[in-house]
Copies of this chain bind each other. A is one copy, B any other.
Amino acid sequence: MRVDRPPLAGYFGTPAEYIVHNRLVYNPDIEDDKALRTSADRVFEALQDAIVRGEIPPGSRVGETELAERFGTSRGPLREALRRLESRRLVERTPHVGIRIASLGYAALLEIYYVREALEGMAARLAAMYMTAAEVAGLKDLLVTHEQDEALRADTAYFQQEGDLDFHYRVIQGSHNTALTELLIGELYHRIRMYRYQVSAYANRPQKAFGEHQRIVEAIEARDGDLAEMLMRRHISSARQNIEKHMKENT
């Protein structure tokens, strides 16, 4: 389903696998999926996945011992995983009290969207400047795939959401700015994905977003950094306003 892509610029697997050891892993296939290097890595990935998917209720308090035996390890590696999740703002720890799973409210989500707007706007600008011709070609291929996808036409949300993420991942990576990439993909996107699972049924707007994606790619292909940044900012700003509208309706 997501295999036949030009290998030069592709992410593979689920987004949760992109980050290993605080580093971006661009091709996890060369690493053993099941047996990551250290035990802390395994529990970190498993816990992050469980939190992002909402298997552990957001806002709930959990004990270290409980989690340790749940993941079949000791408290040592578990605490290392917790520390990493804390830096990603997926759990909150207060000394001598315990840990609780982060819950992303509307206000926090909107804050992140302002950050996204700034960072991804810059990413689009840099992508227009530094993306290789092959990367641009891969981006265009991705859009063709999305256009032909039945789910997109049917407004079925889920795949479009993943496809949307894929598009943004590629633009971000196209900036060739590792600090920017790690900040967005390594820290912000996990929280956004968590929110998507929390309130799975919020109306996105695949058709409109698809058109905006196309224009962004056109600007990148034309090496027009100013335009690419502006379009990306408006794209994300629209998404934010869409959320704000829903927020007011649901309160």
Listed in ascending order, the chain A residues whose CB lies under 8 Å from chain B are 21-22, 37-38, 41, 79-80, 83-84, 86-88, 93-96, 108, 111-112, 114-115, 117-119, 121-122, 126, 177-180, 183, 187
Report the minimum CB–CB distance from A66 to chain B (whole Å): 20
User: Which 9 residue pairs are nearest across A and B when measured between Cβ atoms?
Assistant: A87-B87, A118-B122, A111-B179, A118-B118, A83-B83, A37-B95, A111-B177, A38-B95, A112-B179
A84 to B84, CA, bound (A): 8
Residues of B within 8 A of A187 (CB): 183
Residues of B within 8 A of A183 (CB): 115, 183, 187
Residues of B within 8 A of A38 (CB): 95-96
Residues of B within 8 A of A86 (CB): 22
Report the minimum CB–CB distance from A125 to chain B (whole Å): 9
B80, A111: Cβ atoms closer than 8 Å = no
A21, B87: Cβ atoms closer than 8 Å = no
Residues of B within 8 A of A119 (CB): 115, 118-119
A179, B115: Cβ atoms closer than 8 Å = yes
Residues of B within 8 A of A115 (CB): 119, 122, 177, 179-180, 183
Q: Which residue in chain B gives the minimum CB-CB distance to A121? A: B118
A90 to B137, CA, bound (A): 36
Residues of B within 8 A of A177 (CB): 111, 114-115
A139 to B121, CA, bound (A): 28
Report the minimum CB–CB distance from A151 to chain B (whole Å): 31
Counting chain B CB atoms within 10 Å of each CB, the highest count among A111, A126, A180 belongs to A111
Known contacts A38-B95, A79-B80, A95-B37; A114 and B126 CB within 8 A of each other: yes
Q: Which residue in chain B gives the minimum CB-CB distance to A88? A: B87
Query: Could you list 9 further interchain pairs (A-B, Cβ under 8 angstroms) beyond the known A22-B86, A79-B80?
Result: A21-B93, A37-B96, A41-B95, A83-B87, A111-B178, A115-B119, A115-B179, A115-B180, A119-B119
